[in-house]
Amino acid sequence: MRPGDRVGITSPSSGVGEKHLERLHVAIRDVEARGFEVVLGQCMDGSGHVSAPAVERADELVAMLTDPGIRAVVPPWGGETAIDLLPLFDWERLRAAEPTWLVGFSDLSTIITPLTLLTGAATLHGTNLMDTPYRVLERLLSWLDIVEAPQGHRFTQSSSSHHRSTGWDDYAAVPEVRDH
């Protein structure tokens, strides 16, 4: 990816509730600060357990992954329902499309693994969007560093010597938090 490329944001599982919208905006600004344009999807509603009905979530994710103008797709965070999308994907359309980075972890792992295995497209098991503003710890790389690397670039990433011991940060109270 290069500056000017577009990054799609959609929620294949849980959406973003009103109290976390400021953290979403902080994360989007960080992606934009790297020179990327952000495309915010419609499946983002955080008022319930899922961001939208399964068919809508699957359609939006496939549309972003097959849009030649979008070079990466990253969800705000995980959830529990991404597995519901797998039988709804248009796998032929995904195979035929130019590969687009799909970035994330947690519930998104249930999508990135079959996407890579069934289409051959590279995916990136890395932080979700809401974690993007955190400072990258030593020995680790940001997903933005990976997608910006030139094709064929080699990198080494090791386990961090730091581990979270106190639970999750309160994004509602401190949306701009950058230290783990």
What does the DSSP assignment read for 123-174?
-EE---GGGTTSPPPTT---HHHHHHSPTT--------S----S----TTT-
The domain spans of the chain are 6-147
Interval 19-28: pLDDT, tens: 999 999 999 9
Q: Are 12 and 123 in contact (CB under 8 A)?
A: no
Instruction: Round to whole Å and give the CA distance between 119 and 39.
Output: 24
User: Can you give the pTM of this predicted structure?
Assistant: 0.91
Question: What is the predicted pLDDT for the residue at 157?
Answer: 75
Note the pLDDT tens digit of each residue in 64-114: 999 999 999 999 999 999 999 999 999 999 999 999 999 999 999 999 999
- Is 36 exposed, middle or buried (CB count within 10 Å of its CB: 0-12, 13-18, 19+)? buried
CATH class for the domain made up of 6-147: alpha beta
